[in-house]
Amino acid sequence: MKLLFTNFHDDDGGGHTTYVLTLAKALAARHQVYVAAPPSSRLHQETTVLPGVHAWAQPFPNGLNKLAARRRARKRLAALLREHDFDLVHVAGSADHRLVIAAMHGLARRPRIVLTKHNSKPMTGIGHWWRARRGTDAVIAVSDYTYRALLASSYRHCLLATVHNGVDIEHYSPWPAAAASEQRQRWVGDQPVLLLGSNAGTANYKGWMDLVEALALLPPEQRVQVHLLIAGKPPQAVLHQRITELGLTGQVHFPGLLADVRPAVAAIDAGFVLSWDVETISFACREMMAMGKPVLVSEYAGLPENIRLDADGWLVPPRDPAAMAQMLQRLLQQRGGLSNMGAAARQHAEEAFGLPRFVEHTEAVYNTLLGTR
């Protein structure tokens, strides 16, 4: 089949970029795959070097104040659609979804449209109603939570399927103890502390600052035993100031936005993803588990679906530093069993998070949809 993936992010793109790159790379071996993304995006830059994948520089301007830019973008995308008789277009969000629908006007044969619901934002309003009725054939939910939300939305009339995100469990695999210890020393030296970390980023909704506040609630003798390692864009100055006010500057470490997160993940004892908005399932959580790290997640959206409670991870309420402080105390008490929980996390990843399963289930949605043409 001939496939076009679109994505509107003009920067790193986070999990959206990982999602498209993973599918494009895997499906290019047996299908014709094109990816349309803004030229400044990480997705476009990395797609240009993927064997067998055709990269198309495509802006997706959004907003009423960008009408001229939107017309130009629509014309460019329409040219691509006319030149290539795509069987299916897989869209990532409202901005590219809208432009794809507009650019299809006048096509002799309309490709089927698949939307992946990547976030927890409500799918309400006239825009979603129109796209559901006029420009969506199937929707992929990345969590069971998201699937239930779709059933209560205008998209309930489309073909719906749950396909949990997969990660490259060969790439994200446990590191040897010596190599992990070397990475750990970069951040905490030889201190026998509990090092918790996250590669989910530093956006406010990721909840990492709630864990910093929780750390400050611990008694001094326990507080000094915990360090945090948080990969992502450097946080805002006001957050650095708050960390300083709490007296935790030496215990909260920021390695920055990493091209390869594995050294940071290898260094930690356990991971965390404590989102309270936007999140659905979290690639970051699954990457940490694949590397043999148990993960603390918030009871938000699809995050609990990643773990087996108290076997390879833990749950806390979102935005609740007091509950998180109690969990930190519990983790300090359980430090001796974290390696066993990490082994369980790796086993879970091998059973459920692998790329073949993810790609196969996504491709099955395509085949089902095209079989109903």
pLDDT reading at 372 higher than 80: no
User: Do 220 and 325 fall into the same domain?
Assistant: yes
Asked if residue 172 is part of any domain, the answer here is: no
Asked if residue 130 is part of any domain, the answer here is: yes
Q: What is the pLDDT, as a whole number, of residue 57?
A: 98
Task: List the one residue out of 314, 299, 295 whose CA is nearest residue 353.
Answer: 295
User: Do 88 and 219 fall into the same domain?
Assistant: no
User: Do 259 and 119 fall into the same domain?
Assistant: no
**Residue 345 sits in a domain of what CATH number?**
3.40.50.2000
Number of structural domains in the chain = 2
User: Do 110 and 193 fall into the same domain?
Assistant: no
Which of 66-70, 226-230, 325-329, 349-353 has the least mean pLDDT? 66-70
Greater model confidence, 100 or 62:
100
Domain residue limits at 290: 177-352
Q: What is the pLDDT, as a whole number, of residue 66?
A: 87
**Contact call for residues 300 and 284 (beta carbons, < 8 A):** no
Q: What is the pLDDT, as a whole number, of residue 117?
A: 96
Asked if residue 171 is part of any domain, the answer here is: no
User: Do 46 and 181 fall into the same domain?
Assistant: no
User: Do 182 and 290 fall into the same domain?
Assistant: yes
Asked if residue 363 is part of any domain, the answer here is: yes
Asked if residue 25 is part of any domain, the answer here is: yes
User: Do 66 and 202 fall into the same domain?
Assistant: no
Give me the DSSP letters along 298-356: ESSTTGGGG--BTTTEEEE-TT-HHHHHHHHHHHHHTGGGHHHHHHHHHHHHHHHT-HH
Asked if residue 30 is part of any domain, the answer here is: yes
User: Do 15 and 161 fall into the same domain?
Assistant: yes
User: Do 55 and 72 fall into the same domain?
Assistant: yes
User: Do 238 and 291 fall into the same domain?
Assistant: yes
Asked if residue 263 is part of any domain, the answer here is: yes
User: Do 151 and 211 fall into the same domain?
Assistant: no
Asked if residue 211 is part of any domain, the answer here is: yes
Q: What is the pLDDT, as a whole number, of residue 65?
A: 82
Token digits of residue 85: 């008789």
- Please give the Cα distance from 325 to 210 (Å, whole number): 10
Element (H, E) at 141: strand 138-141
Q: What is the pLDDT, as a whole number, of residue 62?
A: 86
User: Do 208 and 277 fall into the same domain?
Assistant: yes
